[in-house]
Structure 1
Amino acid sequence: MAAKEHRKRSVSFSELVDAPLPITHPRPISFKKTIEHIELDLANQPVDPCKRGPDSTINYTELFLASTYINDARYARSYKHKVEQEYLKYYALYNTAFLTYALYFFLFLNLSLALFEEPAVNNLSLPYWSTMLMELLCLGYFTFRLVHSKRFSSGLRWWTDTKHLITVIILLLTCIDIILYIILKEACNSCTVVRWSRCLRPLFLVNFTEMKQLRRSFRNIRRTLPEIFYVLILLFIVIGLFALLMRELFKDENLFMPDGTPYMTAYWDNIWHLYVLVTTVNSPDIMMPAYDKNAWNVLIFIAYIIICIYILMSIFLAVIYKNYRKHLKNEVQRSVFAKRRQLNRAFDILKVFNGNQFIIPWVRWKVVMKLVVPHRSEVLIRLLWDIIDEDEDDQIGKAEFMHVVDLLNTEISEVADRIPLIGRTFPQCYESTISRKIKDCVRAPIFRYFFDVIIAINAFCIGFRWDQTEWFFLTLFTLEIILKLYTLGGHQFCRKPWNVFDFVVIMGALIASIVESVTEDNLDFLLVLRVLRLVRIIAEIERFKVILATVANIGPSILSFGAVLFVVYYVFAIIGMEVFGGLITHYGYPDKYDDPSQEYCGNIKLKGSVFYREHYCHNNFNNIINSMILLIELTVVNQWHIIASGFVLVTNKSARLFFILFHMSVVIVVINIFIAFILEVFMVEFSLSNNNFESTVERRINELGLGVTEIAEGKFEAQSPKKCLKARGRETNQEDLVDNGAPIASEDALENGGQDTTEGNARARDDGVRFRLKGRSRNVEVVLQRLFEGELNRDDLGSSNVTNIDDLEPEDMTPTPLTFENIT
């Protein structure tokens, strides 16, 4: 039975790779002697690499392990998994898309439970037992992922991993909280019971391996905090000294604030007002009573503003930028070392000895790539080989193999000129003289320039509200869409996002205009579409294109900080709901209320307050949505002290601590780190956008003659078709040569007036495979590694004394100066 399974598995894999390389599966022999158990693997490749030749047998387990190492390097995985085949299968299952997306779903479900739990969003409230069942389902899947990961991980190493310990602790605390809540809720249904574990839910988001970028951001923030802490202490010392000084200066001046409270007589109130002044939102209000009393009093406020706002806050940004960049660089370089070590292990498995060096032959490259990228065609795998084999000696050395991850992360697509559906349906009409002139006109630059001018004129008309011209411009833009679809076809038309944007906006505007004409109703939606149409002007300005492309490339990196903000918001929102929930409610602002209890945001303590007078009642913590909106307002900073004053009035002055902590966490720390990160990434992406691995790949594709050049919109010109066809294993002959993508007609075609009647030549273009880059890689890890990998020596694998890359300290790294020549 075992032999039968072995034969079946071997044949299946051989059919998959279709390669002459002998691939074997282990055939162990076992025997027992007393208490010893010995297993011999008779099907393994030679242990001594020097004895491996290009035709040497390779063990399927070793091949699978090599592909695992390559994928780990490709996706920046850091799991320390076992290397036996049984555990590798568990590891591969763990990383399947289905289980990974299932994790994302349950993380999202767990966080979204706050919408349905008390205090719930309007009309979304569910019984507590139903939300708890959903939460237990989420906890069950999280437990399954932990058990699954432990199955293929080393036991001791698994338990010493901090993220696993934190996840286990959160699971236990959540279960305890659920049990206590059920007991207390059943014992006293009318009592208020606090679900204190809800603020721990975002920690699941941080501590699963799949959320590596988010965890890295928090880890770097934590490592940056000690340096920030000393500047923060200095800031509060200065605030405390000025608060004491102002109390002594103004306590006997008998001054009052506009609301009637004594001016600068209470020390802790002075600290609050001066901290708010650091954010500038109460300037010059806080200064005016002293200024009105004596103009010279303004000098102390000027000194405070210069010291705290223009010096200390600038030092904050400088310290954060310097230290965060240092920690980010160390993190990314650890990732680079891990990638290089994994590729080094894969190379050691695959390498054979040829002449006087270790290399990987084509046959081994082919079979391992079939495991690494099973959905890519053999033609594309051959192209990857040709690109990485830059010296064209039909073998890959170690230095070349170390670029395999960069190559796999570069999106390459097969390209062929496509005939639109209308061209296939009515070929004679589509290829007629008039049709060709129309297509040439659409592809000509003058076509684009003409409609750019029309867009500018349309903007002028919209600005002066000449609505009577709307149908004229709408007709022109609709005609432009039709002509582009006719020339390019649907597939080629949709390849450009701006074309899709145009189609959606113009068709939406056309439909809305027809509806408006029929119903005679004014549609605000139509006004929005008219304005959106002008956005296309941005796409036609070259400098804007560069900026937008740079922003698009760093977009995923920006999203990781969006996730950081979301985690912080969620924690503060849950705490805010538990502390301030129900104290302020929005009932509108009529002159008279039917229910007197609804006056003053439902709380009489707000009577006469600036909070109520400014109509801030909707800024409350009564559900998760309102809480998030309120926290966004606090992040913007403007009027945040008035929002805080409302919650101080309905509770006490200790509520200020909540708002100060939020401001320090988000505005001072996270936002400044976000700015530092954007500055670093944007400068490198913007200045070195043409000096990257994608450019090298594109150059190699063109050198091989497998590339295409876009000579007009939707029309491609093949480069050196002989090499292209050679890469496919076809013989080059006269009929295979192409001119601008079109095959030279055969003798049969010439005899029939240029119409090719031979079978298989019905298409107007050849079927030779050509390739082009889809665009820059936007993977967050790729972008970050591009930032700092150039500062490392090419062959540096990290300290040999450190087996775990995560244990590397900054002094273990050997950076080299970053230049335009060594950036990749």
Structure 2
Amino acid sequence: MHLEDCESPVERSCCLIELDANDGGNYDIVNDVSSPAAGDCCSRQSSARHNWEMNYQEAAIYLQTFVLFVQFIEAIVVLVRQTSHVRVTRALRCIFLVDCRYCGAVRRNLRQIFQSLPPFIDILALLLFFMVIFGILGFYLFSPNHSDPYFNTLENSLVNLFVLLTTSNFPDVMMPSYARNPWSCVFFIVYLSIELYFIMNLLLAVVFDTFNDIEKKKFKSLLLHKRTAIQHAYRLLITKQNPSGISFKHLEGLLRFYKPRMCARDRYLTFKALNQSNTPLVSLKDFYNFYEVVGLKWKAKRNREHWFDELPRTAFLIFKGINILVKSQAFQYAMYTVVAVNGIWILVETFMLQGGNFLPRDVPWSYIVFLTIYGVELLLKTTGLGPIEYLSSGWNFFDFLVTLFAFLGLLTLAFNMEPFYFIVVLRPIQLLRLFKLKKRYRNVLDTIFELFPRMASLGLTLLIFYYCFAIVGMEFFAGVVYPNCCNTSTVADSYRWLNHTVGNKTVVEEGYYYLNNFDNVLNSFVTLFELTVVNDWYIIMEGVTSETSHWSRLYFMTFYIVTMVVMTIIVAFILEAFVFRMNYMRKNQDSEEDNGIVLEKEIFKEEMVALTELYKINCATYEVAQLQKIIAQMDKYEQPSMLFLGRRSRTKSDLSIKMYEEEIQEWYEEHSRKEEYQQRQEALPSSSNNPLKPLGLRQRSQTVI
């Protein structure tokens, strides 16, 4: 286990015991000592790993060392003074988490964000430039109106125009001037048209174009890097006796090191899948497909088409009829109709319900009817297709889970288990099956499933920014807002919480915005999410500003700009993925259903016998036992050969290879020319220094099997 893996949880757990500076306790002192100590382990481990060589990670190591140095200084100061102070360096702890080996996707996201910053900063500067121009113009136009609090100073003018960019204070910011002169609305209409509808969309377009360019360059770089690696491996694996290709013996040795858990059967199948020319040697052209073939998972193809082929004739005919039924279009559309009717029924039932306890005392008859239909469908598909084939489909597995939860919901209603009533509420999830009806809906869902791993890493990246701002907010704004605060602010009503009597009635003024505070890390995360949504976010900003100073606005504006960068990258990523998939589907209209990469290979009994003898010579007992099982299975069914299917899911790299098929050939030619030029340049000084050394010779590595 790496030291950095131990350090990151310690760093992350520190934020959960943060206390306000006004509270008692010595948690800050413990935190100060434990955090640098844990970080020191990571720094020493990183130093040992990199040996302080000049590489691309040197800047990160220097940054970690600087942060650790500052943390040690702060720890010493806290131990000497025995009191805590404002320490914004807590926000830098996430650096150690990002450096963890499990956060490689987060590092790639951060690198991509920084790569997209230059065009973003250009458009952002243009946006702020127009904002300043309109701020000065608004100050001169509306400051004479003493009833207008939004433009009475240049600072208020700029702040309110910044908030107006998010439409959070519109049309409130316009109404005082609009009441005095209706033509003043032209100012706000022009401002929003330029800033919100033109520059903001231009910002997304520029980032989207930059993101596409970065993705394409990254794919090109990775593709050429793989090609170079394959060429280098090919030169090492060929021999003087067989200079035209790689033998199975040497390829098998490579696979032992590349994928140690790959069995002997799969290694031979990989050799056969690579060897498209059906010769004893794998040529360089075939070896270029190494990365695509080595990821295949091989399984023996079933000898029978259906699971019921060996049953008696009567049972065979029954199950064959069920198989034809469940695969028919009529059965599929009948079930879609049932799902649609069920959805309409749930909608009508929900519409007729009133507030209060929604848990019925008796089980509704409609629930039993629809659950019975879904149960019959599940039984028919399981018997007609077989359990393995049925559950191998993602949609069928989803139907199985929904039906299972519906049955559990029936038990909940029947036995009045109110704590488990949430299971009953999951009934509308069944309506997702209707997405299979339309191709575009299926593409949307497929894109969502493909994006989910990357979206998870992007979400973690956003949480890291949240953590940084949460720690800073806790240091400066903890305990600032409370009920009935901000009385001198224009948003005081949002924080007012009191009861007073008006006549014979008791009026309760409930202002809940005091809950949006920075008293602890969890409240800070919720508050920051509300700021991200930007609905009435200026109320939180003005409330904190009224209790601190005007400089507090910089915190909230900086957070908005940072989240705007990250969210724009996320939106650009979603758009790029969806547009890429749509373009791929248009280019490959024949592939209606994407079943991934499937490759079929046949192995004859003579090949297995020869392969077994080869492993016997090398004393590989485990591999011999595996191969003998395959031979025994061939003998059992009296088969001269056996078919194997290699499958793997289709990745974006596979789709990109098809999308950029024409450009890839140009990339290969350009890469070959660059390599030839570099080889000639490297050969010139070496030949002059060592005239006796012939060109083209190289050191060889020995392949061990």
Bucket of the pairwise TM-score, normalised by the shorter protein = 0.7 to 0.9
Match of 2:358 in 1: none
Aligned residue type for 1:685: R
1:345 to 209, 216, 232: 232
| SS of corresponding position for 2:57 | helix
| Residues 611-659 of structure 1: CA deviation (Å, up to 9, x unaligned) | 3255222211122222222222222222121221111122111111111
Identity %: 24
Q: Distance in 2 between matches of 1:339 and 1:293?
A: 69
- Taking the TM superposition and a 5 Å limit, the aligned residue runs for 1:436-585 are 437-465=321-349, 467-519=364-416, 521=418, 524-585=421-482
Is the 8 Å Cα contact of residues 408 and 423 (structure 2) preserved in structure 1?
no
Match of 1:307 in 2: 194
Tell me the CA shift for residue 300 of structure 1: 2.0
Match of 1:768 in 2: 642
Is the 8 Å Cα contact of residues 339 and 431 (structure 2) preserved in structure 1?
yes
In 2 relative to 1, CA 765–536 (structure 1 residues): closer, same or farther, beyond 3 Å? farther
In 2 relative to 1, CA 685–616 (structure 1 residues): closer, same or farther, beyond 3 Å? same
TM-score w.r.t. the length of structure 2 is 0.76
Tell me the CA shift for residue 786 of structure 1: 7.5
Tell me the CA shift for residue 272 of structure 1: 0.5
Match of 2:124 in 1: 232
Is the 8 Å Cα contact of residues 11 and 38 (structure 2) preserved in structure 1?
yes
In the alignment, structure 2 segments of 5+ residues that lack a partner are: 351-363, 497-510, 611-631, 680-705
Q: Distance in 2 between matches of 1:359 and 1:401?
A: 9
Match of 1:401 in 2: 287
In 2 relative to 1, CA 245–397 (structure 1 residues): closer, same or farther, beyond 3 Å? same
Is the 8 Å Cα contact of residues 181 and 193 (structure 1) preserved in structure 2?
no
Is the 8 Å Cα contact of residues 322 and 383 (structure 2) preserved in structure 1?
no
Q: Distance in 2 between matches of 1:291 and 1:305?
A: 16
2:549 counterpart of 1:670: no
Please, which moves more after superposition, 517-526 or 531-540? 517-526
Match of 1:52 in 2: none
Is the 8 Å Cα contact of residues 493 and 499 (structure 1) preserved in structure 2?
yes
In 2 relative to 1, CA 248–131 (structure 1 residues): closer, same or farther, beyond 3 Å? closer
In the alignment, structure 1 segments of 5+ residues that lack a partner are: 1-97, 257-261, 586-598, 707-722, 732-757, 804-824
Tell me the CA shift for residue 767 of structure 1: 9.6
In 2 relative to 1, CA 484–430 (structure 1 residues): closer, same or farther, beyond 3 Å? farther
Is the 8 Å Cα contact of residues 409 and 421 (structure 2) preserved in structure 1?
no
1:376 to 259, 262, 273: 262
Q: Distance in 2 between matches of 1:671 and 1:459?
A: 34
Q: Distance in 1 between matches of 2:140 and 2:64?
A: 49
Q: Distance in 2 between matches of 1:227 and 1:726?
A: 62
| SS of corresponding position for 1:600 | coil
2:584 to 681, 688, 700: 688
Match of 1:166 in 2: 60
Q: Distance in 2 between matches of 1:186 and 1:230?
A: 47
| SS of corresponding position for 2:514 | coil
1:729 to 600, 608, 631: 608
2:88 counterpart of 1:196: yes
In 2 relative to 1, CA 575–728 (structure 1 residues): closer, same or farther, beyond 3 Å? farther
Aligned residue type for 2:112: N
Aligned residue type for 1:612: Y
| SS of corresponding position for 1:768 | strand
| SS of corresponding position for 1:160 | coil
| Residues 543-588 of structure 1: CA deviation (Å, up to 9, x unaligned) | 3223322332343333343233222222111111111122225xxx
In 2 relative to 1, CA 653–763 (structure 1 residues): closer, same or farther, beyond 3 Å? farther
Q: Distance in 2 between matches of 1:482 and 1:393?
A: 49
Is the 8 Å Cα contact of residues 414 and 771 (structure 1) preserved in structure 2?
yes
| SS of corresponding position for 2:645 | strand
Number of matched residues?
Answer: 621
Is the 8 Å Cα contact of residues 604 and 641 (structure 2) preserved in structure 1?
no
In 2 relative to 1, CA 488–139 (structure 1 residues): closer, same or farther, beyond 3 Å? farther
**C-alpha RMSD of the superposition:** 4.1
| Residues 313-358 of structure 1: CA deviation (Å, up to 9, x unaligned) | 2332233233343344334433333333222221221123578x64
Is the 8 Å Cα contact of residues 7 and 38 (structure 2) preserved in structure 1?
yes
Is the 8 Å Cα contact of residues 337 and 796 (structure 1) preserved in structure 2?
no
Tell me the CA shift for residue 268 of structure 1: 0.8
Please, which moves more after superposition, 640-649 or 399-408? 399-408
Aligned residue type for 1:110: E
Q: Distance in 2 between matches of 1:222 and 1:266?
A: 36
Is the 8 Å Cα contact of residues 36 and 68 (structure 2) preserved in structure 1?
no
| Residues 222-273 of structure 1: CA deviation (Å, up to 9, x unaligned) | 23323333332232222222222222222323333xxxxx341200110001
Q: Distance in 2 between matches of 1:255 and 1:700?
A: 69
Is the 8 Å Cα contact of residues 110 and 201 (structure 1) preserved in structure 2?
yes
Match of 1:329 in 2: 216
2:513 counterpart of 1:612: no
In 2 relative to 1, CA 481–552 (structure 1 residues): closer, same or farther, beyond 3 Å? same
Q: Distance in 2 between matches of 1:230 and 1:545?
A: 38
Q: Distance in 1 between matches of 2:222 and 2:116?
A: 19
| Residues 442-473 of structure 1: CA deviation (Å, up to 9, x unaligned) | 45554433322221221122122194311111
Tell me the CA shift for residue 205 of structure 1: 3.7
In 2 relative to 1, CA 441–313 (structure 1 residues): closer, same or farther, beyond 3 Å? closer
Aligned residue type for 1:298: C
| SS of corresponding position for 1:264 | coil
Is the 8 Å Cα contact of residues 605 and 649 (structure 1) preserved in structure 2?
yes
Q: Distance in 2 between matches of 1:460 and 1:265?
A: 55
Is the 8 Å Cα contact of residues 8 and 100 (structure 2) preserved in structure 1?
no
Q: Distance in 2 between matches of 1:787 and 1:230?
A: 31
Please, which moves more after superposition, 532-541 or 325-334? 325-334
In 2 relative to 1, CA 691–377 (structure 1 residues): closer, same or farther, beyond 3 Å? farther
Aligned residue type for 1:232: L
In 2 relative to 1, CA 730–507 (structure 1 residues): closer, same or farther, beyond 3 Å? same
Please, which moves more after superposition, 217-226 or 140-149? 140-149
Is the 8 Å Cα contact of residues 39 and 96 (structure 2) preserved in structure 1?
no
Q: Distance in 1 between matches of 2:103 and 2:654?
A: 16
In 2 relative to 1, CA 318–449 (structure 1 residues): closer, same or farther, beyond 3 Å? closer
2:8 counterpart of 1:107: yes
In 2 relative to 1, CA 730–455 (structure 1 residues): closer, same or farther, beyond 3 Å? farther
Q: Distance in 2 between matches of 1:727 and 1:556?
A: 44
Aligned residue type for 1:770: F
Q: Distance in 2 between matches of 1:727 and 1:612?
A: 84
| Residues 169-188 of structure 1: CA deviation (Å, up to 9, x unaligned) | 42453364256336525643
| SS of corresponding position for 1:729 | helix
Please, which moves more after superposition, 522-531 or 308-317? 522-531
| SS of corresponding position for 2:539 | helix
Q: Distance in 1 between matches of 2:194 and 2:125?
A: 14
Tell me the CA shift for residue 489 of structure 1: 4.9
Q: Distance in 2 between matches of 1:295 and 1:674?
A: 40
In 2 relative to 1, CA 556–522 (structure 1 residues): closer, same or farther, beyond 3 Å? closer
1:365 to 231, 251, 256: 251
Is the 8 Å Cα contact of residues 383 and 727 (structure 1) preserved in structure 2?
no
Q: Distance in 2 between matches of 1:509 and 1:699?
A: 31
| SS of corresponding position for 1:513 | helix
In 2 relative to 1, CA 607–225 (structure 1 residues): closer, same or farther, beyond 3 Å? closer
- Taking the TM superposition and a 5 Å limit, the aligned residue runs for 1:205-224 are 205-207=97-99, 211-224=103-116
In 2 relative to 1, CA 168–299 (structure 1 residues): closer, same or farther, beyond 3 Å? closer
| SS of corresponding position for 2:236 | helix
Match of 1:777 in 2: 651
Q: Distance in 2 between matches of 1:700 and 1:608?
A: 59
In 2 relative to 1, CA 698–347 (structure 1 residues): closer, same or farther, beyond 3 Å? farther
